[in-house]
Chain A
Amino acid sequence: MRIRSFDYWEAPSLDDALTELEISGADAKVIAGGTDLVLNMKKKKILPRRIISLHNLKELDFVRAQNSEIHIGALSRHADIADHPLLKTHLPILCEAVGLIGSWQIRNVGTIGGNICNASPAADSIPPLMALDAQLILASKTAEKKISLDSFFTGPGETVLENGQILKEIVIELPKQRSAGCYLKLRRRKAVDVSLAGVAFQAEAESDGTRLAKVAVALGSVAPTPIRVPDAEAVLTGLPIAEAMTKISDCARIAAQTASPIDDVRASASYRRTIVDVFLQQCAQKALGALKNGGGN
């Protein structure tokens, strides 16, 4: 459990961090809360020679509404996100999911930026963010770039982040109409487990409240990266809510078929597929049921 020695530098500002990162190149790794990185260093999976710590960058620790968007700083901690009044009001699916990450101890240190950049296919924050069509602001010394979360992942643990780039902010457009969502996570016990299968479902009603304007289905732990499932979404989008509710099982079946889970010590691929179907049905029932009864956010 020895952590190989490294040079350490604490960034006083984002600008300084980006400058330093530019200079250090591939040798350097940034650290936010460290719950993933320190673990990976102890396990010898990652052996950085230099660490640039962002953990004191208060400027990246925020949740705010801006125009018709919610902006979340990359260094916001899971515990703060799970409890944030703005998010609970407008994007409760995110609170629900982030509240299931690890233990309370992990959530007090781990950051959403870290969760996203660690890019585990099992990350809990990502499926709901995908279902919310989240966008990421990537910053480097020279530029800022906005990309969709959907395009961020290239493989398990791999992202499009380039050397010199940091995830700065997550931007989510507020739903225009009433919306409702749900996140379910398959675990081996009733608390504190990695996700064996994660299902996020988010739906938004049209302005007249009768049809579904938007439907989003995102899955975690059942593919090399978290994924959206447009084919499943298409089954319900545009339908009157009551009718959509009769087609939930079709939607779920397609999602399960689209998933490409693996067999491992945690669960078999076939069980994961089965659960995707089950959970998506449950999630959709809950969300659509809420919308139908005039609920939602």
Chain B
Amino acid sequence: MSELDIVGKSYPQIDGLQKAMGKTKFVTDLILPGMLYGRTLRSPYPHAKIKNIDTSRASALAGVKAVVTYADTPGIKFGPRSEDWTIFAADKARFHGDEVAAVAAIDEDTAEEALELIEVEYEALPFVTDPLEAMQPGAPLVHDDKPLNIAAEFSVEAGDVDRAFDDSHIIYEERYYTNQVYQAYMEPMAALADVDLSGRITLWTGTQIPNMMRMTYAKALGVSPDNIRVIVPDYGGAFGAKMENNIHLVAAILAQKARTPVKLVNTRYDDFIAGNPRVPMYIDIKLGATKEGVLTAKEVKVVGSAGARLVYSMVIVATACYRVDSLYRFKHVRSKGYTVYTHTVPTACFRGFGNSQMTFVLESALDMIADQLNIDPAEIRIKNGVGPNETSIHGWKINSSGLKDCVIQATQKVDWQKKRQKKETLKGIGLACCNHVSGNRPFAREFDGGAGIVRVGRDGRVTVYHGESDMGQGQKTTFAQIAAERLGVPLQMVHVADVDTDISPFGLGSFATRGTLMGGNGVLAAAEDAFRQLAEIAAEILEARVEDIECRQGKFFVDGSPERSLPFQEVAAQATFARHGAPVVGTGFYKPPTVLPDPETKYGNISPAYPFACQVAEVEVDPNTGQVTVTNFVAAHDVGRAINPMATEGQIRGGVAQGLGWTLMEDMAYENGKIINPDFVDYIVPSALDVPDIKPILVEPVEPNGPYGAKGIGEPALNPTMAAITNAIYNATGIRVKNLPVSPEKLLSALKQKEPAD
């Protein structure tokens, strides 16, 4: 570890001061000359025929420059992985919030006033919001071509599940429900679109997938992908939500019609009802184990709501079905997943991507089994946990695994043994583990991996270009640290450019906890290339062989003779002169050793690395109100290597806080097909008083496939949190929470029922 100068150190975020001083321009801060402000008219019905739209009064309002509907679009059906989207509802609105029309005007107030002047004639239709109901014969269809509203099915099976259950000493079977929650990033979705004279569209937006979305939108707009340029400014959080959404396309259509830039910002209400919240799931689990606590078989059925159109819910349901199979040494598994259309807001990615939902369920089930077998929950994890250099049942090649260490260190930190023995009424301690990926080959499609460009200026200024996305998680700084380490320069010399698809590599984006590993390896490869080019010049000047050239702390030298050194800036200058001005540009890419899984068996190594974690929660339950307080929390995470420990810890804390919110207070509630709490008054997220002091532990087994050994942290930070808390509640009260979020009322009622027995 002491070999590294920059990586592994807790540098402050390179863009942190700008943000703290209010100088950073977020998407919603951007202004272009001649810019108009857009607003979207949304369906007030969960399901309705659109019989007529009259925009004449809106168009006539002074200050309105464009009013658009489906008729102003190419009318192409498209979707990120499906063809069930249109930009604006065509003949039918399929959820409360569906985009029906939009306006661009000289200011937001005028745009909003114009919305009120658009007359839409609807014919309300029957609707269904629960996925189990939607699958029943006779349920209203969301899309006519999908019987029983089943958008997708997923199956995977390995081993001999029925035999294994027969051989089990104990079987636990139960149904769980994980509800729909909202990412609640602080900056709403927004897009600024401009169209040039040739019809080329430039989109400034906070997106996790600048390139993947271009591919989708090209189809929607009937243009070639390179006719869409995406520029990603700083943006205020995403947690999975900011992938494809009609907001970008609506902005583009408005800009096309108005022939001037249009900025479209979701009101918070828009964002609640037409964002991309988490896929709610019914999960049935059947889990078997031997008397000693060795897991035998697992069977799950997942039913998840897609909402009114498919974003990524079918991949999320699939992930829920089988990602956990590589957390423990399962030999016999069977999973079935249904992605079901409902007349609700389209659901999509949220930190964890199905693995968080299933981890909650599996870790709850395992806790029950441990309890019944009278085996320590920590011990049962260690007994079953996948270790280093193992291949899991689906062919996932786990190189590094710090799972065991995570369990040991987390339980040590929290005095687990003592607390489990000393049982205090209404106080409890619980733990949960998770696995995750650092990239998801089948999700990436044409290829997976990362690439980078590292440009070294005449004066030694280093600029890194990448194709992923910094949504606030600190990716820029991570990439800067990697580049600085490889080049051997102080961090202050390295800058990271905003992603601009005209210039940046074709990155797949930030999802599946892939940014650090894929993007980081791409940047590393590019830095390697740039270093080699500079080393050639340095070798000439220092009269040495290229292979013997090193650079550290901004000085080039010959290995073994550090006293003869050249400043990095000097070498950069000489390199530029030698090339007569052609810049030193290193490019490189990372090709991960992964495969597309077999379409039938799903077998195949989908990620170059797999992070693991163990989290422990301590809770107190108020016997009078049923309310739960998380009094202590420890989170041990196998991150391979933390490029920036402070930033990694920040991600862990943020993930745990979100998990705490999901478990104790967050719920998108529906009534009559509408979300009835589309605001921060009644959609409750944790405040500073709700989150305890979380103690992160970084476990660093150094992953061979990671840049400087790094894996990732984003999603594992959240995955175990829900079960850690509900396992602690079980420890405190003997009550098993099977539905998220915990209802104080239900807990109170259950506590009262238990009273006579205690």
Q: Could you mark each residue 243-278 of chain A with 1 if its beta carbon is under 8 Å from any beta carbon of chain B, else 0?
A: 000000000000000000000011110110011001
Complex alpha-carbon distance, A282 and B669, angstroms: 31
Contact of A189 among B113, B669, B689 (CB under 8 A): B689
Q: Could you mark each residue 164-199 of chain A with 1 if its beta carbon is under 8 Å from any beta carbon of chain B, else 0?
A: 000000000000000000000010111111100000
Contact of B112 among A1, A193, A265 (CB under 8 A): A1
Q: Which residues of chain B have C-beta atoms less than 8 A from A282's C-beta? A: 624
Q: Which residues of chain B have C-beta atoms less than 8 A from A266's C-beta? A: 682
Q: Which residues of chain A have C-beta atoms less than 8 A from B625's C-beta? A: 186, 275, 278
Contact of A188 among B624, B629, B684 (CB under 8 A): B684
Contact of B690 among A190, A267, A270 (CB under 8 A): A190
Complex alpha-carbon distance, A159 and B689, angstroms: 35
**A45 within 8 Å of B (CB atoms):** no
**B687 within 8 Å of A (CB atoms):** yes
Complex alpha-carbon distance, A190 and B690, angstroms: 6
User: Which residue of chain B lies nearest to A184 when distances are taken between CB atoms in the complex?
Assistant: B625
Q: Could you mark each residue 82-121 of chain B with 1 if its beta carbon is under 8 Å from any beta carbon of chain A, else 0?
A: 0000000000000000000000000011001100000000
Complex alpha-carbon distance, A190 and B267, angstroms: 26
Complex alpha-carbon distance, A8 and B676, angstroms: 33
Q: Are B745 and A189 in contact (CB under 8 A)?
A: no
**B21 within 8 Å of A (CB atoms):** no
Q: Are A274 and B748 in contact (CB under 8 A)?
A: yes
Contacts A271-B745, A275-B625; A194 near B112 (Cβ below 8 A): no
Complex alpha-carbon distance, A266 and B745, angstroms: 11
B743 CB, min distance to chain A CBs, angstroms: 9
B647 CB, min distance to chain A CBs, angstroms: 27
**B595 within 8 Å of A (CB atoms):** no
Complex alpha-carbon distance, A189 and B671, angstroms: 23
Q: Are B112 and A2 in contact (CB under 8 A)?
A: yes
Complex alpha-carbon distance, A191 and B686, angstroms: 9
B741 CB, min distance to chain A CBs, angstroms: 10
Q: Are B108 and A190 in contact (CB under 8 A)?
A: no
User: Which residue of chain A lies nearest to B691 when distances are taken between CB atoms in the complex?
Assistant: A190
Q: Which residues of chain B have C-beta atoms less than 8 A from A193's C-beta? A: 684
Q: Are A278 and B624 in contact (CB under 8 A)?
A: yes
Contacts A189-B686, A189-B687, A191-B688; A265 near B669 (Cβ below 8 A): yes
Q: Are A2 and B748 in contact (CB under 8 A)?
A: no
Contacts A189-B689, A189-B690, A275-B625; A2 near B108 (Cβ below 8 A): yes
Complex alpha-carbon distance, A270 and B745, angstroms: 9
Q: Which residues of chain A have C-beta atoms less than 8 A from B113's C-beta? A: 2
Main secondary structure of the interface of A (DSSP, over half): loop
Q: Which of B267, B669, B687 has the most CB of A within 10 A?
A: B687
B residues 409-452 near A (Cβ < 8 Å) are none
**B677 within 8 Å of A (CB atoms):** yes
Q: Which of A189, A192, A274, A275 has the most CB of B within 10 A?
A: A189
Q: Are A2 and B109 in contact (CB under 8 A)?
A: yes
Q: Are A191 and B681 in contact (CB under 8 A)?
A: no
Q: Which residues of chain A have C-beta atoms less than 8 A from B267's C-beta? A: 1
A267 CB, min distance to chain B CBs, angstroms: 7
**B665 within 8 Å of A (CB atoms):** yes
Q: Which of A191, A193, A265, A268 has the most CB of B within 10 A?
A: A265
Q: Are B676 and A265 in contact (CB under 8 A)?
A: yes
Q: Which of B267, B665, B671 has the most CB of A within 10 A?
A: B665
User: Which residue of chain B lies nearest to A281 when distances are taken between CB atoms in the complex?
Assistant: B624
Q: Which residues of chain A have C-beta atoms less than 8 A from B671's C-beta? A: 265
Q: Are B665 and A188 in contact (CB under 8 A)?
A: yes
User: Which residue of chain B lies nearest to A282 when distances are taken between CB atoms in the complex?
Assistant: B624
Q: Are B108 and A189 in contact (CB under 8 A)?
A: no
Q: Which residues of chain A have C-beta atoms less than 8 A from B744's C-beta? A: 271
B residues 713-750 near A (Cβ < 8 Å) are 744-745, 748
Q: Are A268 and B745 in contact (CB under 8 A)?
A: yes
Contacts A188-B665, A275-B625; A265 near B677 (Cβ below 8 A): yes
Q: Could you mark each residue 50-61 of chain A with 1 if its beta carbon is under 8 Å from any beta carbon of chain B, else 0?
A: 000000000000
B59 CB, min distance to chain A CBs, angstroms: 18
Interface residues of B (CB under 8 A from A): 108-109, 112-113, 267, 624-625, 629, 664-665, 669, 671, 676-677, 681-682, 684, 686-690, 744-745, 748
Contacts A189-B690, A190-B687, A191-B689 aside, 9 further interface pairs with beta carbons under 8 A come to A2-B112, A188-B665, A188-B684, A189-B684, A190-B689, A194-B681, A265-B677, A275-B625, A278-B624
Q: Could you show 10 A-B contacts with beta carbons less than 8 Å apart?
A: A1-B108, A2-B108, A2-B112, A188-B684, A189-B665, A189-B689, A190-B690, A266-B682, A278-B624, A282-B624
> Nearest 9 CB-CB pairs, A to B?
A190-B689, A271-B745, A191-B689, A2-B112, A278-B624, A2-B109, A191-B687, A188-B684, A190-B690
